[in-house]
């Protein structure tokens, strides 16, 4: 990623500079990482693969650069970081907070503000809501590359409503590129700051009744013939963070039938506080704690989506999903995020039998081994 360039992007609509400042997810494909970061390009890829994803748009890295240069922030940043020593954390912290303050307090240009506000309005119209609640999150250009998490903190702000709030949180995401740790890492790795860029995604919040994660292999043993789903009520946070033992479903990937259901006692779930518009944990009513949080039909549909996503990417995937409570079954399951599974995929798997094993050899060696009872 050291030679991040301003290569022309085929799918994005051209602007005066040749690259868009803001674009819709569906206009991005997986090769748009340099323009909209890993997260947003992957969402665009999913939409184009026919997977149901909550709609949204992104401030592109071009938009980010325009913002930084138009206001002269980039020059100030360079000055603040001149001669920075990655060993001196105190000084870095100071520089970081100055830079972040600078970014967050500076308005976008009218051009960008108008583009974002217009996209937000269109998104609200598409969602049939007056001011659609959205998630605003940074989408780094290198986050999915193993061992290259130099983007630093990945900020996510949920339940944001109104164009001004959206713009404000977009700047907060941009500033997350300049945490002390991220700066230190970049200096240590020899990256020049010109090579660093960030994109910000704005996506309709799924008003999830149930949410969770899905692996297109068995996380326990790497078995690629199954899809494993963890689910709890509310947002996926409780599942991702491990705060509850979720319901667990093992689905046969080939035949899409449920092999195993484990219904757990789910004590809390996350939902949005309507007054403060932030997500917070709430106790699950006792009578619902041991009730299956995802219906069998939904499990199977979700697994089908997982299988399609894996087929599209050609590798096992780690997926976040949600069931929207405002929509009826048949169109209510959404994929929020999909990234390559990394644990089992990077493991060197030894073959189950020696190369060139004949049936006879295998039968004999299996007989000699027998079946362990103890």
Partner 1 sequence: MKFPKPHDVKTIPGTEGWERMYPYQYQFVTDDPERHQYEEQAFWFYDGLHYPEAIYPFDTIWDEAWYLGLSQFNNRIFQVPPVRGVDHRIINGYVYISPVPVLDPEEVASRVPNFMERAGFYYQNWNELEAKWEVKMRALIKQIEDLPISRLPDLEELDVVLSGMGESKGFHLLRTYDELINLGIQCWQYHFEFLNLGYAAYVFFLDFVQKLFPSAPLQRVTQMIAGIDVIMYRSDQELKTLAKKAIELGVDEVLTGCKHWREAEPELKALANGQKWLAELEIARYPWFHVSTGTGWSHVDKSWNDDLNIPFLGISSYIEQLRQGTDIERPLEKVRAERDRITQEYRSLIASEDDKQTFDNLLATAKTVFPYVENHMFYVEHWFHTVFWKKMREVAAIMHEHGLIEEVEDIWYLRRDEIKQGLWDLVTAWATGVKPRGAKVWPPEIAWRKGVMEKFQAWSPPPAVGTAPEVINEPFTIVLWGVTNSSIADWSQVQEVTDPDSITTLKGFAGSPGIVTGRARVCRSVEDISQLEEGEVLVAPTTSPSWAPIFSKIKAVVTDVGGVMSHAAIVCREYGLPAVVGTGHGTKVIKTGMMLRVDGSSGVITIDR
Contact positions vs partner 1 (CB under 8 A): 218, 221, 223-226, 250, 252-255, 257-261, 296, 349, 351-360, 362-364, 366-374
Q: Which residue has the tokens 């994929």?
A: 335
DSSP labels, 295-336:
-HHHHHHHHHHHHHHHHHHTS-EEEEEEEETTS-TTS-EEEE
Residue 239 or 250: which CB sits closer to partner 1? 250
3-class DSSP string for 114-177:
HHHHHHHHHHHHHHCCCCCCEEEEEEECCCCCCCCCCCCCCCEEEEECCHHHHHHHHHHHHHHH
Give the nearest distance from C-beta 124 to partner 1 in angstroms: 42
Measured from the CB atom, is 86 or 219 closer to partner 1? 219
Longest CA–CA separation in the chain, Å:
77
The position carrying tokens 């609640």 is 133
Phi and psi (nearest 5°) for 333?
A: -100, 130
Least distance between partner 1 and beta carbon 80 (Å):
50
Q: Residue 182 in contact with residue 151, Cβ under 8 Å?
A: yes
At closest approach, how far in Å is the CB of 146 from partner 1?
19
Choice between 134 and 213, CB closer to partner 1:
213
- State both tokens at 294: 């995802």
The alpha-carbon radius of gyration of the chain (Å, integer) is: 23
Nearer to partner 1, 105 or 348 (CB): 348
Which sign, positive or negative, has the C-alpha torsion 251, 254, 257, 260? negative
Kindly state the smallest distance separating residue 255's Cβ from partner 1, in Å: 6
Nearer to partner 1, 331 or 370 (CB): 370
Residue with smaller CB distance to partner 1, 110 or 371? 371
Closest to 293 in 3D by CA, of 263, 251, 253: 263
Closest distance of CB 364 from partner 1, Å: 7
Give backbone dihedrals phi and psi of 225, rounded to 5 degrees, phi first.
Answer: -90, 5
Give min distance, CB of 297 to partner 1, in A. Answer: 11
Closer to partner 1 by Cβ: residue 190 or 356: 356
Report in angstroms how near the CB of residue 308 gets to partner 1 at its nearest.
Answer: 14
Residue 45's H or E segment, with its range, is helix 33-48
């Amino acid at each position: 990623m050291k030679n991040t360039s301003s290569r022309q992007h085929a799918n994005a609509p051209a602007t005066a500079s040749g690259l868009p400042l803001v674009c819709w997810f569906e206009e991005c494909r997986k090769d748009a990482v340099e323009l909209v970061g890993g997260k947003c390009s992957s969402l665009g890829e999913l939409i184009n693969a026919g997977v149901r994803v909550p709609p949204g748009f992104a401030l592109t890295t071009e938009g980010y650069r325009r913002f930084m240069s138009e206001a002269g922030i980039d020059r100030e940043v360079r000055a603040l970081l001149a001669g920075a020593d990655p060993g001196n954390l105190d000084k870095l912290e100071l520089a970081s907070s100055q830079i972040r303050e600078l970014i967050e307090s500076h308005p976008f240009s009218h051009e960008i503000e108008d583009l974002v506000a217009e996209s937000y309005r269109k998104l609200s119209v598409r969602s049939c809501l007056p001011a659609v609640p959205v998630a605003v999150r940074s989408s780094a250009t290198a986050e999915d590359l193993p061992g290259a998490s130099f983007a630093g903190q990945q900020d996510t702000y949920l339940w944001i409503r109104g164009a001004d709030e959206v713009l404000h949180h977009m700047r907060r995401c941009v500033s997350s590129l300049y945490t002390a740790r991220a700066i230190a890492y970049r200096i240590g790795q020899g990256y020049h700051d010109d090579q660093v860029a960030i994109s910000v995604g704005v996506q309709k919040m799924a008003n999830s009744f149930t949410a969770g994660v899905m692996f297109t292999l068995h996380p326990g043993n790497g078995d690629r013939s199954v899809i494993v789903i963890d689910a709890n009520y509310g947002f996926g946070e409780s599942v991702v963070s491990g705060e509850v033992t979720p319901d667990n479903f093992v689905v046969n990937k080939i035949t899409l039938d449920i092999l195993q259901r484990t219904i757990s006692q789910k004590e809390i779930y996350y939902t949005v506080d309507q007054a403060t518009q932030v997500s917070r944990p709430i106790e699950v009513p006792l009578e619902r704690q041991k009730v299956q949080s995802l219906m069998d039909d939904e499990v199977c549909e979700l697994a089908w989506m997982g299988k399609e996503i894996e087929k599209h990417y050609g590798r096992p995937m780690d997926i976040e999903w949600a069931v929207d409570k405002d929509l009826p079954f048949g169109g209510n399951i959404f994929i929020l995020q999909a990234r390559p599974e990394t644990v089992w995929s990077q493991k060197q798997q030894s073959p189950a039998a020696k190369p060139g094993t004949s049936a006879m050899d295998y039968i004999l060696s299996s007989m000699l081994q027998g079946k362990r009872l103890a």
